[in-house]
Amino acid sequence: MSAGPHLLFWGPEGPISALYRERLPAGWRLSALRDRDDEEGKLRLLPDVDVVVHTDNTPLTRAHLDAAPRLRLVHRQGVGLDAVDQDELRAHGVALAVCTAGTAESVAEHTVLLALAAGRHLVRLHEEVARAGRWPKWEYRGSSVGLHGATVGLVGFGRIGQAVARAVLALGSEVLVHRRTDGPLGPEWAGRPVRAAGGLEELFAGSDVVSLHCPLLPENRGMVGARLLDLMREHSVFVNTARGGLVVEDDLVAALRAGRPAAAGLDVFVQEPVAPDHPLLGLPNVVVTPHCAAGTRTTSVRKAQAVLDNVGRFWAGEPVEDLVV
């Protein structure tokens, strides 16, 4: 039996790399790093690596590719591509694939979690009851925003945006959609309270919850700034589980301080990890999480198996799913 590939898990040894080890086919090898910033480990391991399993948003640079003459495939554990240079991969003759398994459902769950946690003051209510000994049963009712009867504006309507639409429709929301492409939304949405917005301005002005579900591209960096935020309703909630670079963070801070939107739920930031003194973290109407929207055990197991299955197809010379480069 011929030897299998040597995989480098582009992250620290831990629970997620263990999921890969448990499922590694016979004859394959898997290495991992001390931590995501373990440059010494990367440069030591890369010369003997056939496949990089790329996790998180830790960049894969030209220096890394130059150090990896055997590298044939970079396989993202997720779907984001802003931490890999596709031109450099092409120049080095390295293929790139993404993993869509589980992402849409988990991110949709987290989107709903953040929308409700921010809109219904979950953190503040917990702190008042558990830490301050108060019982604010009535104080927040007039300013709480739920999803039943709300209009949810989705910027982006790919796999994740559509999964969010299904979730909020089940909770009694109406859905307003903005996409880069024109045309019908598709037969699944016919006869349901889902419609396309005439533009971003209409979506931001007409939604109780605005949620971002689009990739970060050069043309949409900083897309959400003061102009769009000023259009939001006073009681509205802004949610971002996509990429921090889509938002002008200073403008979002100013808008939240002014109460429009009334609250925000954020899983992503321009710089990650976010600085402890970032002004968004000090606002009482903001709920934050550490870019973990896709991060459930169930999803991680699905992703590990899907990545290994796809690497197996690549290694056997069979068609590869979700190939980008």
Domains defined for the chain, CATH in brackets: 6-102+296-315 (3.40.50.720), 104-288 (3.40.50.720)
The whole-number pLDDT of residue 80 equals 84
**Side-chain half-sphere of 102: how many Cα atoms within 13 Å?**
18
* Residue 59 backbone zone (phi > 0: left; psi -120 to 50: alpha; other: beta): beta
Distance separating alpha carbons of residues 116 and 146, to the nearest angstrom: 6
> Residue 231: what residue type?
L
Mean pLDDT of the chain: 96
Cβ contact 156:132 at 8 Å: no
Q: Per residue in 220-258, pLDDT tens? A: 999 999 999 999 999 999 999 999 999 999 999 999 999
For the cut 90, the answer to whether the pLDDT of residue 182 exceeds it is no
**Averaged over 33-55, what is the pLDDT?**
95
Tokens of 170: 């089940």
Which of the residues 13, 272, 313, 321 is marked catalytic?
272
**Averaged over 81-92, what is the pLDDT?**
92
Residue 296: which of 109, 64, 97 has the closest Cα?
Answer: 109
**Averaged over 36-59, what is the pLDDT?**
93
pTM over cut 0.85: yes
The reply to whether 272 belongs to the active site is yes
- The CA-atom distances, in angstroms, between 222 and each of 237, 243, 245 are 18, 10, 6
The whole-number pLDDT of residue 79 equals 87
Tokens of 209: 């919850």
Residue 243: which of 47, 83, 36 has the closest Cα?
Answer: 83
The whole-number pLDDT of residue 1 equals 42
Paired with 277 in beta bridges are none
Distance separating alpha carbons of residues 41 and 98, to the nearest angstrom: 24
The reply to whether 291 belongs to the active site is yes
Q: Per residue in 1-32, pLDDT tens? A: 458 999 999 999 999 999 999 999 999 999 99
The whole-number pLDDT of residue 57 equals 79
The reply to whether 88 belongs to the active site is no
Alpha-helix residue ranges (DSSP H) falling in 28-78: 39-45, 62-66
Which of the residues 213, 243, 249, 302 is marked catalytic?
243
Q: Are strands 194-196 and 263-266 parallel, antiparallel or unpaired?
A: unpaired
Q: Per residue in 194-203, pLDDT tens? A: 999 999 999 9
Tokens of 219: 């043309």
